[in-house]
Structure 1
Amino acid sequence: MNPKIIIDLNKFTDNLDYIGKKMKAKSLTLTHITKVYAADPKIVKAADENKYVDYLGDARIENIKNYPQVSKPKILIRIPMHSEIEDVIRYTDISFNSEISTIRFLNNEAKRQKKIHKVVLMVDLGDLREGYFDVKELHKAVAEIVTMTNIQLFGLAVNLTCFGGVIPDKGILQKLVDYKNSIESSYGLSLSMISGGNSSSLYLLDKDGIPEGINNLRLGEAIVIGKETAFGQFYDEMHHDVFTLSAELVEIKEKPSVPFGKIGMDAFGQKPVFVDKGQMLRGIVAIGRQDIDHLGLVPIDKRIEIVGASSDHLILDLTKCKKDYKVGDSVRFYMNYSALLRAFTSKYVNRTYIQQQYNMRNFFYKKGDRPIVLCHH
């Protein structure tokens, strides 16, 4: 039933294989982040069965709780809330942290549940999202953590590009390695995970730009869309249509391209601007902003143009289409990260899975064939 996300599990596995091989060649472990597809159990299962995936991670404890039975260690990558401490210990193996007060609660709960919980400390290297910014505060936290009975300091991690837009480079990541070396020598530790960021760090693999000592990357968007996110470059060797969106036409009528009357605010508090293109064959598909980021959609039929969207409707210009679309027909779209994230989050968007066989030699994109969508980290 439309609207629906069409999920190609074979293409998803191909993308994991391609990135996984690149990372293993550089002695890096792969944490696959499952949040963009809301930890869909069938997709999580495919990731868990992939030999190149070392860890599974998500920002939402609710997603991790709904994982199928998996063999890979589970990581909560968003800093835990105090109100979810019990679930963090019960359902995850590792959590990313930046507040010692939270780690104290984790230690107490891990003791109550008779578990050893691993923590990775986030370090802020300039993007100004989460993490220890002051080196003294970082060392003070480490000094307390090593005295805890049920917490193991597992490593350090940095997040870049997501908030401040800071592009990772060798110099920035070397600072994380320097912190690692300082902590290990000061406290007699051996840290297992030094995580050098997300899909925006991936471009450094091809430039020999990841310093020795970084041994992990956390990848979501690169796997599901087939691109690095520092500069938004697609990999020709990867699928860019692992996920596509299908929505159904509920109206097709010829109408003017500009509304009549005085223009005020739309339903989202914005004043829309229209270009007069004369009479237009307008189609409406049954999906809207409650379900999708329409700015992140690209029609697979290149002759279709997206006019705009309300809460429940996506307005299309079908004027230049060669296909004679009818009410009830489906229109398919590529999605960027933002559109994909919202579509999977919406309870009104269904899912269908395909595992068709295809000739690997024929899937590669020629220049200009790939979907052009807005970069979203």
Structure 2
Amino acid sequence: MKTPCIYIDLKKIEHNTSVIVNLCKKNRISVAGVTKGALGMPEIASAMIRGGVSWIGESRLDNIERLRKNDINVPFLLMRSPHKSEIERVISLADVSLNTEYEIIEALSEASIKNGVIHKIIIMIDLGDLREGIWPNELIPLVKETINMKGVKIIGLGTNLTDLNGTIPTIENNNQLVELAEEVENKFNIKLEYLSAGNSSSLKLLESGKIPSRINHFRIGEGILLGRETIYREKYPDTYQDAFTLSAEVIEKKLKPSIPIGEIGQDAFGNIPSVQDKGIMKRCILNVGRQDTNIDGLIPRKSTLEILGATSDHLLINATNETNVNVGDVISFDLNYSALLSSMTSPFVEKIVL
């Protein structure tokens, strides 16, 4: 076995998907399974589809292309705003894209007309998290400019909450999206097919039964992959949090002091270390580092182990309270979303599908 590696339990991902999709179905909500946290891995997309998602959401066109080449045959939602330099690829790879800029929508329309297709768009509205989206008062002017474009079709409105500044989905901001949709429908005599208001941070609101009935589309990544809602990172009921396991190998074990010797300056990443004196400890080095994952998002499966720090290529752990650890042993870790994202992206971490 090559280390470091990440084990991927597809049955647990399928189970988590099924739990969340079934709850959404009870509320007439369709789900796009978001695979960007897993580098658009086809096996994971397939597990999500078996679990019931009707779309796959991705932020990278390269990932969508890989998924299509591996016979993933559901609608693809491009979740990052299209780049003007990649308009032709957007048209050929994504069925639907999230949009905020008139200039981009116009380019999508022109490219679609040239290619004999109609590209579907969801207009994103910023309801407070200050990531992507137009302000609510810009919606009617943008729709007015877009509605008669021949190459694009507005199929819905959406919003993104929590991801950047932690803005919590509420009845109020969800109702605001509904009201904006109704204003568009009345003004332009159209019917919007989708109101895409939710991501994993909306699961608590959904569970409480307070999602407005017009909201009918969620984009779920972490809730499926790690079984957690994303406001407080609480475990979502009846889901697995260990569908992914990062494993690394012990390459050194020594008894050493817990504090460094000599005058202290900056470490390799420009930080000045602050180290607590715990006396002589059993220090182990593992063959994984900051080039491979977000060390701050790793949790040792054994509670007797403590992460001390990391460099580019080495993870230091305190194994003083662990009697059975030797050079060559493999240590397993749970991951938060940040560690999962970086581990799945790293070419140095082997991916092993169970």
What does the per-residue CA deviation read over 1:140-170, in whole Å, with 9 as the maximum and x for residues that have no partner?
1111221111101010000011112110101
- Alignment deviations for residues 84-122 of structure 1 (CA, whole Å, 9 cap, x no partner): 111100001000000010000001111121111000000
Cα distance between partner residues in 2 of 1:190 and 1:49: 30
Q: RMSD of the TM alignment (CA)? A: 0.9
Q: Which residue of 2 aligns with 1:283?
A: 284
Alpha-carbon distance in structure 2 between the residues aligned to 1:80 and 1:71: 21
The corresponding residue for 1:371 is none
* Superposition deviation, residue 243 in structure 1: 0.3
Poorly superposed stretches of 4+, deviation over 4 Å:
none
Q: CA deviation at 1:69?
A: 1.5
Q: Distance in 2 between matches of 1:114 and 1:69?
A: 23
Is 1:124 the equivalent of 2:126? yes
SS in 2 for 1:196: strand
**Among residues 82, 85, 96, which one is paired with 1:83 in the alignment?**
85
Measure how far apart 1:48 and its partner are.
2.8
CA distance in 2, matches of 1:300, 1:130: 37
- What residue is the counterpart of 1:187 in the other structure? 188
Counterpart in the other structure of 2:155 = 154
Whole-angstrom CA distance in 2 between matches of 1:262 and 1:154: 62
TM-score (norm 1): 0.92
Q: Hey, what does 2:207 align to over in structure 1?
A: 206
Which residue pairs with 2:233 in the alignment?
232
Aligned residues: 351
Asked whether the 8 Å contact 1:264–1:271 carries over to 2, the reply is: yes
| 2: CA distance, partners of 1:37 / 1:90 | 22
| Corresponding letter in the other structure for 2:306 | E
- Say which is worse superposed, 26-35 or 137-146, in terms of deviation: 137-146
Partner of 2:113 in structure 1? 111
Contact in 2 for aligned 1:258/1:275 (Cα 8 Å): yes
CA distance in 2, matches of 1:268, 1:244: 26
- Contact 1:48–1:71, Cα closer than 8 Å, also in 2: no
TM-score (norm 2): 0.97
Give the alignment of 1:27-66 within 5 angstroms.
27-50=28-51, 52-66=52-66
The residue type equivalent to 1:235 in the other structure is Y
Matched, 1:341 2:341: yes
| Counterpart AA for 2:289 | G
Deviation at 1:180, TM superposition (A): 0.6
Identity percentage of aligned residues: 40
Question: What's the counterpart of residue 263 of structure 2?
Answer: 262
* Alignment partner, residue 71 of structure 1: 73
Deviations 1:284-328 (A, max 9, x none): 101100111111100001100000000110000000013x21111
- Flag structure 2 segments of 5+ consecutive residues without an equivalent: none
Letter in 1 for 2:327: V
Contact 2:223 2:236 in 1 (8 A): no
